[in-house]
Structure 1
Amino acid sequence: MANTTTVTRGRGSSPAPGRRRKKGGGPVKSSGMPSWSIPYVLLVPGLLVIAVLLLYPMFQLVVMAFQKVGLAQIRGSRPAEWVGLDNFEKILSNDIFWSALRNTVVFAFVAVSLTLIVGTAVGVLLNKLGKRMSLFVVIGCMFAWAVPPVAQGVIWRSLFDAESGIVNWLLNLLPDWLAAPPAGQQDWTGTPWLNDSFPLYVALVVCVVWAGFPFIAVSVLAGLKGIPAELYEAAKVDGSGAWRTFRKITLPLLKPVFAVLTILSIIWDFKVFSQLYVLMNGPTNRDGFNLSMYSVAEAFKPPQKLGTGAAISIVLTIILLIITVAYVRQIVKQEEM
C-alpha cells in the first residue's frame, strides 16, 4: 500500500506561488496592483485622449467667450482682453442672433421629423424584403449616408442650380397647372433657389434627410429583428391591421431605439454647418444664417471676433444640453410609468 502524506499549512506558512495576500485579506495580483483598480487603470489612456481632444478645447472655448479676441490677439501682438459677459450681451441684443436661432430650431424640427419618418418607413420596408433584396437596398442607402457633408452640399447645390440644375429641368417637364413657373418667367430655368432663405432651407432639409435617413433605417431594421415574430402572428390572428400593429407592438418595443435616434438627430441637425455653407456659397446671406453659420461668420469674417463666435457656440451647446436633458428625463418618466 502506498503511503499517503498529508501536508497541512500553518498560520505562518506563505500563500500559493503567484498570489499574495494584502493586509485587508483581498487578493492582490503578482504585479502588486489590487484587482478592483485594473478597470480604472485601463480607462486612463481613453480619458487622456478625451481630455486632450475634447475637454481642453472646450475649456479654451469657454475662456475665449469671456474675452475680446481678434486678429491682433491671434498674432500675439496684443494680449486677450477680459470683457466678462459683453460678448453674450452683444449677441443677445443682435437681431441676426434671434433670426439664426429661429432658423436653427425650425430647420431642426422639420429635418429631425422627416428623417425619422422616412428612416422608419424604409426600415419597416427592409424588414419585409427578402435577405438579398434587403442587403441590396441597405448597401445602396448606406452610400448616401457615407457621403461627406461637404460633398452632400456640392451634390445638392448642383441639383438646385439656377441654369443647369435637374430640379428646374424636372419642373419644366410638369404641366403649368401642376407647377407654374414664377411670375414673369416662361419656364423654371434661371430660378435662383439658393438665394432666398426659404428655398435655401428647403434644399437643406432635402439634403440632410437624404443623407440621414439610411442610419435611421438600418437602426430601426436592427430593432425590428429583435422583436419576436410570435407577437405579429398573434396580432394577425386577432385581425389587427398594419397600422394598428405598428402602433401597438412595434412602436412601444422600439421606444428605446427611437429615443437614442431622436437625440442623435437633434444634436446633428442643430449644428449643421458644412451643407449650409456649401449651399449658401459661404456666409453671404445673413437672413439664412443658423447658429453654426452665425458663429463662424462672427469669428472669421473681417473684422475677426473670435470671442463673440465662441459665445454663440456656448449658447448653442447650452441649448442642446437643455433639449437633451429634458428629452431624456421625459423618456425615463414614461418608462417608470
Structure 2
Amino acid sequence: MTNTSTIARGGGNPSASGRRRNSPQRPARASGLPPWIIPYVLLVPGLVVIAGLLLYPLFQMIVISFQKVGIPQINGKKPADWVGWDNYTKVLDNEIFWSSLRNTVVFAAVTVTLTLVLGTAVGTLLNKLGKKMSTVVVVGIMSAWAVPPVAQGVIWRWLFDADAGMINWLLNLLPDWLSSLLFGRADWTGEPWLNDALTIYLVLIICVVWASFPFIAVSVLAGLKGIPTELYEAARVDGSTPWRTFRKITFPLLKPVFSVLTILSIIWNFKVFSQLYVLMNGPTNREAFNLSMFSFAEAFRSPPKMGTGAAIAVVLTLLLLVVTAVYVRQIVKTEEM
C-alpha cells in the first residue's frame, strides 16, 4: 500500500523526477520588437510629456515672435499678422533692451559667484559637523530654499521697506560714529531701498543668494561624503593647509558637481522674475528691468505687444543656450584632457 501511494506521487520513479528537475525552462514570451529599439520605446512616454509641456510652448513662442499680436488678436477679432524680423529689430533698437541685458548679465555673474562660494563654504562646514547638528542645520537652511519665489520677494520687500522695514531699524541702532564711518551717514529713517535700480539689485542679490545657497550646500555635502577620508588623512600627515587640501583634493574630485551646479545657477539667475517683480511692485522702474521683466512688460503692459515680448524671450533663450553650450564644451575639453 505504501509503495503504491509512493509511486502514485512520483516518489518511486527517480528518473521521472529528475526529468522534471532538469527540464529546460520555457522561453519568455517575445515582445516582437528588436532588442535595440526597446530603450527608445521606453523613452516615448517621457518624450511625449516633454514635447507637450516644453517643446510645444517653445514653438508657439517662436511663432508669436514673428507676428504682431495685440488686443484684437487676443480677442480673436483679427488674425495675427506676420511681420517677419520687425519685432527683433525693434527690440535690438530699444535702449531698454541693452540696459536690461546688462542688468541680467551683471546680476547673474555676481549672484552665481556668491551662491557657489557661500554654498561651498556651508557644505564644507556641514561635513565637519556631527550627524545631529548637521541634520539640524540642513533642515534650517533648506527651509529657506523651500520658500516660493513670490514669498521670497515679499519677505525681503518687508525687511527693506522704507517706513516699517527692519533693516532701517537695525541700522539706526548702530552708534552714529560707526554708521558714519561705515556708510557715511547716521540716520536711516525712511531710506527708500526699493526706489533706485542699484539698491533694488542689491536687495535682489541678497534675496536670491539667501534662497539659493542651501541647494548648493547640500549638493556639495553629498559630494564630500563620497570622497575617501584616507586622502584627507594623508594630506594632514603631510602638513597640508586647509586651503591647499581644498585646491588639491576637494575641488578636483568635486569638479563634476561644481560644473552642474554652475550651469544650473546660471540658468536660474538669468531667468529671475518673481522676486524682482515683487520688489519693484510690478514693472515700474525701467532702469531696473532685466530681460525677463522687459519681456513681461512688453507682452502684458497696456497696450500689449506679445510679439515683441516673445522676441525678447527668444533672445533670452538663445543667450542661455549659448552660455550653457560654451560652458559644457569647456567641461568636455577638461574631462578629455
TM over 0.5: yes
Shift of the alpha carbon at 1:186? 6.5
Structure 1 consecutive aligned stretches of length 4 or more whose deviation exceeds 6 Å: 2-5
Cross-structure match for 1:120: 120
Unaligned runs of 5+ in 2: 1-12, 17-23
1:33 corresponds to 2:33: yes
1:164 partner SS: coil
1:249-288 aligned within 5 A: 249-288=249-288
Q: Which residue of 2 aligns with 1:296?
A: 296
Displacement of 1:182 in angstroms is 8.4
SS of residue matched to 1:227: coil
Which secondary structure state, in structure 1, belongs to the residue aligned with residue 176 of structure 2? coil
Partner of 1:329: 329
Deviation at 1:114, TM superposition (A): 0.3
State the identity as a percent. Answer: 71
| 1:27-176 paired onto structure 2 within 5 Å | 29-176=29-176
Is the contact made by 2:177 and 2:186 (CA closer than 8 Å) also made in structure 1?
no
1:266-323: CA deviation from partner (whole Å, max 9, x where unpaired): 0000000000000000000000000000000000001100000000000000110111
- 5+ residue gaps in structure 1? 6-14, 20-28
CA deviation after TM superposition for structure 1 residue 43, in Å: 1.5
Q: Superposed, which structure 2 residues align to 1:230-241 within 5 Å? A: 230-241=230-241
Rg: which structure is higher?
2
CA distance in 2, matches of 1:288, 1:178: 31
Q: Which residue does the alignment assign to 2:209?
A: 209
Question: How big is the shift at 1:175?
Answer: 2.1
Greater alpha carbon shift after TM alignment, 158-167 vs 174-183: 174-183
293-302 or 172-181, larger mean C-alpha shift: 172-181
The 3 A distance-change label for structure 1 pair 70 and 116 is same
Change (3 A) 1:3 1:117: closer
Q: Quick one: distance in 2 between partners of 1:17 and 1:233?
A: 56
- Other-structure match for 2:228: 228
* 2:140 match: secondary structure: helix
TM-score (norm 1): 0.90
Question: How far apart are residue 3 of structure 1 and its match?
Answer: 10
C-alpha change, 1:332 and 1:74, in structure 2 (3 Å) is: same
Tell me, in whole angstroms, the C-alpha distance in 2 between the residues paired with 1:182 and 1:132: 40
Structure 1 residue 34: Cα displacement: 3.3
For the residue of structure 2 that corresponds to 1:246, the secondary structure is helix
Greater helix percent: which structure? 2
Counterpart of 2:33, as a letter, is M
The Cα of 1:174 is off from its aligned counterpart by: 1.2
Q: Does structure 2 retain, via aligned residues, the 8 Å contact 1:124–1:221?
A: yes
Aligned residues: 318
| Correspondence for 2:20 | none
Alpha-carbon deviations, 1:19-49, whole Å to 9, x = none? 5xxxxxxxxx434333333322221111111
